[in-house]
Structure 1
Amino acid sequence: MYTHIMVGSNDLARSKRFYDALFGAIGGKPGMEDGRGRVFYRHSGAVFIVTRPIDGEPATHANGGTIGFRAVDPAQVDAWYAAGLAEGGSATEEPVGPRKTGLGPAYTGYLRDPDGNKLCMACPMPAA
């Protein structure tokens, strides 16, 4: 449905450390910086980009926005969550674990990256 997701950052080096750890926890490779100072991540057919805002204004996060990533199992959600916390992310919403969602039962973890962007990693759980 989408071609890529891009978030802004006020400190690209800090963001690269955070996202390298976050995506590394689920088997992704470190981000590659292009000549314009953007960091690109490619994994499982998806593209995620971190950049300084091109208008020169400070990066801000979207109020009400969440970027969701798919996990293969709860262990991958836990690894992703721990890596994010270790690299400067912060816990948000309920603790990582099972939840009832509008799409059925899922195992989820929510973090904010160091710039405040809200991220979610989730995998479906079998119905009880």
Structure 2
Amino acid sequence: MIGYVTLGTNDLTKSSEFYDALLGTIGAKRFMEEPNYFIAWAKNPDEPSIAVSVPFDKKTATVGNGSMVAVALDSPAQIDAFYAKALELGGSCEGKPGFRPEGATSGFYAGYFRDLDGNKLNAFCMVAGD
């Protein structure tokens, strides 16, 4: 399955500060880094990770239309906190946390946001019904 996801950035310092703070809330920390090029975070080095990188071709990083990274969490409360932290750090709302489809009381629970470079992410979990 997925080993890692890399998101483009035009400001590695600003992006790394955002992800240090955001991913730190779920126990992920830096485990790979190449100065002025990329940084990767994971809970453990042998688990899937998220990285940010300046583009290898040295051109401007752009957002992939239709691309999104989903972060699996354990509970709606954890998703609410993660989403709130992303917005607190300067991210923007792409869909407040809640069940999808709207009105559901179990199943897919997610909150959507964009990072400082405009990359779209969500935090989600599955909630069992009664």
Report the TM-score when normalising by structure 1: 0.87
Q: Partner letter of residue 4 of structure 1? A: Y
| Runs of at least 5 residues in structure 1 that lack an aligned partner in the other structure | none
The answer as to 2:78 corresponding to 1:112 is no
Is the CA contact (8 Å cut-off) linking 1:16 and 1:31 kept in structure 2? no
In the aligned structure 2, how far is the partner of 1:56 from the partner of 1:109? 32
Match of residue 6 from structure 2: 6
Q: What is the 5 A alignment of 1:1-128?
A: 1-30=1-30, 32-35=32-35, 37-43=37-43, 45-92=47-94, 94-100=95-101, 105-128=107-130
Q: Partner letter of residue 112 of structure 2? A: Y
User: CA-atom RMSD, angstroms?
Assistant: 1.9
Is the CA contact (8 Å cut-off) linking 1:106 and 1:122 kept in structure 2? yes
Aligned residues: 125
In the aligned structure 1, how far is the partner of 2:88 from the partner of 2:49? 23
Displacement of 1:47 in angstroms is 1.6
In the aligned structure 2, how far is the partner of 1:99 from the partner of 1:2? 24
Is the CA contact (8 Å cut-off) linking 1:3 and 1:46 kept in structure 2? yes
**Identical counterparts, % of pairs:** 38
Displacement of 1:106 in angstroms is 1.7
Q: Partner letter of residue 81 of structure 1? A: Y
Displacement of 1:29 in angstroms is 2.1
Report the TM-score when normalising by structure 2: 0.86
In the aligned structure 2, how far is the partner of 1:59 from the partner of 1:11? 9
Displacement of 1:88 in angstroms is 1.2
In the aligned structure 2, how far is the partner of 1:125 from the partner of 1:107? 7
